[in-house]
Chains A and B, each alone.
Chain A
Amino acid sequence: MRTLHPFHGGIHPPEHKSQSTRQGIAAAPLPARLVVPLRQHNGNPARPVVAVGDHVLKGQMIGAPEGFISAAVHAPASGRVMAIEMQPIPHPSGLPDVSVVLEPDGEERWIERQAIDYRAIDPADLRNRLRDAGVVGLGGAVFPSHIKLDASGLETLVINAAECEPYITCDDMLMRERAAEVVQGIAIMQHVMAAREVLIGIEDNKPEAISAMQAACQGSGFEVVTVPTLYPSGSAKQLIKLLTGKEVPSGALAPQVGVQCFNVATAYTIHRAVNHGEPVISRIVTLTGNMEEPRNYEVLIGTPVGELVKVAKPRADTSGYLMGGPMMGLPLTDPGVPVVKATNCIIATSAELFPPPPRAMPCIRCTRCAQACPADLQPQELFWFAKAKNFAKAQEYQLFDCIECGCCNYVCPSHIPLVQFYRFAKSEIHAQERDRKASERARERHEFREFRLEREKQEKAAKHAAKAAQAAASPDGGSGDEAAAKKAAIQAAIDRAKAKKAAVTPQNVDDLPPEAQAKIDEIEERRTHARESAGQAAAVQKSDEGQGAS
Chain B
Amino acid sequence: MNSPLVAEKTAVNFIMLKVLAALLPAIAAYVYFFGPAILVSIALASVTALASEAAVLHLRHYPLRVYLTDGSALVTAWLLALSIPPLAPWWLIVVGTLFAILVAKHLYGGLGNNLFNPAMVGFAALMISFPSHMTHWTAPDVLAHSHWSFAQQMDFMFGGISPADSKLDAVTMATPLDTLKTQLHLERTVAEIQSSPIFSTLSGKGTEIIALLYLLGGLFLWQQRIISWHIPASFLAAMFGLAGLFYLYDPVHYASPLFHLFAGGTMLGAFFIATDYVTSPTTPLGKLIFGAGIGVCAYVIRVLGGYPDGIAFAVLFLNSAVPLIDAYTQPRVFGHAGKWFNGRKE
Contacts and interface: CB of A to CB of B under 8 A. Distances in A.
Interface string B253-288: 000000000000000000000000110101100000
A139 B186 CA distance: 77
B6 A237 contact: no
A414 B8 CA distance: 11
Given A359-B63, A362-B113, A363-B112, A410 B4 contact: yes
Q: Interface extent on A, as a size class?
A: 35 or more
Contacts of A11: 8
A480 interface: no
Interface in B117-134: none
A414 B66 CA distance: 11
Interface string A398-434: 1001000010011111110101100000000000000
Interface of A: 7-8, 11, 13-14, 166, 237, 241, 247-252, 320, 322, 324, 326-331, 349, 354, 356-359, 361-368, 370-371, 374-378, 380-381, 396-398, 401, 406, 409-415, 417, 419-420, 514
B282 A381 contact: yes
Interface in B228-242: 228
A409 B4 contact: yes
A326 B282 contact: no
B107 interface: no
A322 B4 CA distance: 11
Interface residues of B, number: 39
Contact of B70 (A8, A361, A371): A361
A419 B334 contact: no
B164 interface: no
Contacts of A366: 15, 277
B4 A419 contact: yes
A250 B112 contact: no
A417 B331 CA distance: 23
B12 A378 contact: no
Contacts of A13: 6
Contacts, number: 139
Given A362-B111, A364-B112, A366-B277, A378 B331 contact: yes
Nearest to A367: B282
B11 interface: yes
Contacts of B10: 368, 411, 413
B110 interface: yes
Closest 6 CB pairs of A and B: A406-B4, A362-B112, A250-B335, A375-B334, A354-B5, A326-B5
Nearest to A353: B5
Nearest to B2: A420
Contacts of A396: 344
Contacts of B63: 359
A364 B277 contact: yes
A26 to B, nearest CB: 27
Interface in B90-146: 109-113
B333 interface: yes
B201 interface: no
Interface in B56-74: 63, 66-67, 70, 72
B334 A322 contact: no
A413 B10 CA distance: 5
